[in-house]
């Protein structure tokens, strides 16, 4: 199950830390090398050879710029050029084969030996390392999967939908030390703490009115097992009543919970038991405001937890 665990509190926050300064220096050096690689690739590109083969000069130069910047899959480069309406020649469109042919003309294989190794892969490389990764889940699901994220800096763990951590892999950051990024491990359709709280909300017994004695909102309290069955008993009670002595206040307020269905009964207790076990294991089970639940039934419903409870979001 995707878990929420606090990170090491002794680790200083990322903003302004020595780790951040070191990461910025590494990023600046990486950007410098990327610019050097792009400039070198464009300088040595054989545009006359591409023109002689019938490619439009503007199209070949745009392909060269994209390839020098990304070294992407030829099919992706072709899609990008078609989206930009940059045709290889009049009346034609790009595909992976055309992109590979043009790249081979711009940077022929015999030029690989002159390419500086410090600038990374030769822009004319057309081997399997350029192919688009084919990610496939081990399971077919009807709705969005759940993910477990982890911070390699402070050790925190959190499920997808946790507030303050970015949207999926976009702008991902640790909720504890605020370090950007994090490892993403697919958890398919297993329930996170967020999902379990939503199940408690969705399958809770039908609400009843306030306490007939004092007018306070009544709360749910477990009352053991129904005799001779596997069903657990849940009652609405008033916190002001004395359940131990069963005083008049308590007996006037108590009312059996009414379930939507047998399935709702089991779903509710599955969520309650899972949360209890997670808390015993040391996980964070309190739900913060802003937690997001995405329905797993393929409906596309999105729910956000607020101070007043769950609210369906557009």
In the chain, what percentage of residues exceed pLDDT 90?
Answer: 42
Both tokens assigned to 230: 């596997």
- Residue whose C-alpha is closest to residue 182's, from 164, 216, 158, 198: 158
Q: Quote the pLDDT of residue 187.
A: 59
Do 151 and 162 form a contact (C-beta atoms < 8 A)? Answer: no
Q: Give the chain's largest Cα–Cα span.
A: 98
CA distances from 228 to 224, 225, 264, 266, 300 (A): 12, 8, 20, 17, 41
> Within 13 A of 296's CA, how many CA atoms are on the CB side?
16
**DSSP-derived secondary structure letter, 299:** S
Do 179 and 172 form a contact (C-beta atoms < 8 A)? Answer: no
CA distances from 304 to 187, 257, 288, 311 (A): 21, 26, 10, 5
Q: What is the mean pLDDT of residues 144-170?
A: 82
Helix (H, G, I), strand (E, B) or coil at 69: helix
pLDDT confidence band for 186 (50 / 70 / 90):
low
**C-beta atoms surrounding 310 within 10 Å:** 17
Query: Per-residue pLDDT tens for 285-299?
Result: 999 999 999 887 777
Q: Quote the pLDDT of residue 196.
A: 92
Q: How far apart are CA 177 and CA 201, in angstroms?
A: 31
Helix (H, G, I), strand (E, B) or coil at 311: strand
The tokens 């490389």 sit on which residue? 125
Query: Per-residue pLDDT tens for 123-134?
Result: 988 877 666 655
**DSSP-derived secondary structure letter, 5:** B
CA-based angle 69:75:78, to the nearest 5?
70
- Give me the sheet containing 219-225, strands edge to edge: 219-225, 232-237, 255-256
Cα dihedral 6, 12, 17, 19 sign: negative
- In terms of pLDDT, which residue wins out, 133 or 235? 235
- Residue whose C-alpha is closest to residue 185's, from 151, 154, 162: 151
- Three-class secondary structure assignment of 228-291: CCCCEEEEEECCCCCCCCCCHHHHHHCEECCCCCHHHHHHHHHHHHHHHHHHHCCCCCCCCCCC
Q: Quote the pLDDT of residue 42.
A: 93
Q: Is the pLDDT of residue 247 over 50?
A: yes
Both tokens assigned to 270: 């599955």
pTM (two decimals): 0.56
pLDDT confidence band for 3 (50 / 70 / 90):
confident
Q: How far apart are CA 72 and CA 123, in angstroms?
A: 10
Q: Quote the pLDDT of residue 169.
A: 62
pLDDT confidence band for 135 (50 / 70 / 90):
very low
Q: What is the mean pLDDT of residues 201-205?
A: 91
- Residue whose C-alpha is closest to residue 122's, from 105, 102, 108: 108
Q: How far apart are CA 292 and CA 290, in angstroms?
A: 6
């Amino acid at each position: 199950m995707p878990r929420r665990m606090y990170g090491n509190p002794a680790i200083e926050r990322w903003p302004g830390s020595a780790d951040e300064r070191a990461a910025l220096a590494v990023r600046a050096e990486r950007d410098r090398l990327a610019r050097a690689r792009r400039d070198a690739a464009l300088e040595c590109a054989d545009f006359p050879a591409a023109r002689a083969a019938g490619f439009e000069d503007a199209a070949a130069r745009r392909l060269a710029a994209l390839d020098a910047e990304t070294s992407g899959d030829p099919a992706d480069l072709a899609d990008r050029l078609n989206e930009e309406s940059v045709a290889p020649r009049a009346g034609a469109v790009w595909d992976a084969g055309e992109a590979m042919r043009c790249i081979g003309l711009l940077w022929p294989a015999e030029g690989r030996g002159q390419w500086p190794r410090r600038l990374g892969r030769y822009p004319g490389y057309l081997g399997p390392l350029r192919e688009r990764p084919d990610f496939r889940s081990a399971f077919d699901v009807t709705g969005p999967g759940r993910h477990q994220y982890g911070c390699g800096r402070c050790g925190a763990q959190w499920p997808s939908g946790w507030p303050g951590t970015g949207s999926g892999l976009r702008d991902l950051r640790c909720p504890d030390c605020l370090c950007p990024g994090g490892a993403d491990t697919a958890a398919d359709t297993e329930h996170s703490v967020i999902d379990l709280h939503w199940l408690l909300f969705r399958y809770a017994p039908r609400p009843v009115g306030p306490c007939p004695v004092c007018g306070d909102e009544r709360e749910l309290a477990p009352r053991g097992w129904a005799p001779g069955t596997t069903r657990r008993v849940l009652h609405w009670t008033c916190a002001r009543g004395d359940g131990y002595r069963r005083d008049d206040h308590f007996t006037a307020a108590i009312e059996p919970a009414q379930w939507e269905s047998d399935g709702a009964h089991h779903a509710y207790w599955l969520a309650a038991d899972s949360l209890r076990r997670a808390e015993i294991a040391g996980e964070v089970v309190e739900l913060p405001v802003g937690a997001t639940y995405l329905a797993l039934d393929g409906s596309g419903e999105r729910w956000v937890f607020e101070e007043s409870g769950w609210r369906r979001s557009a």
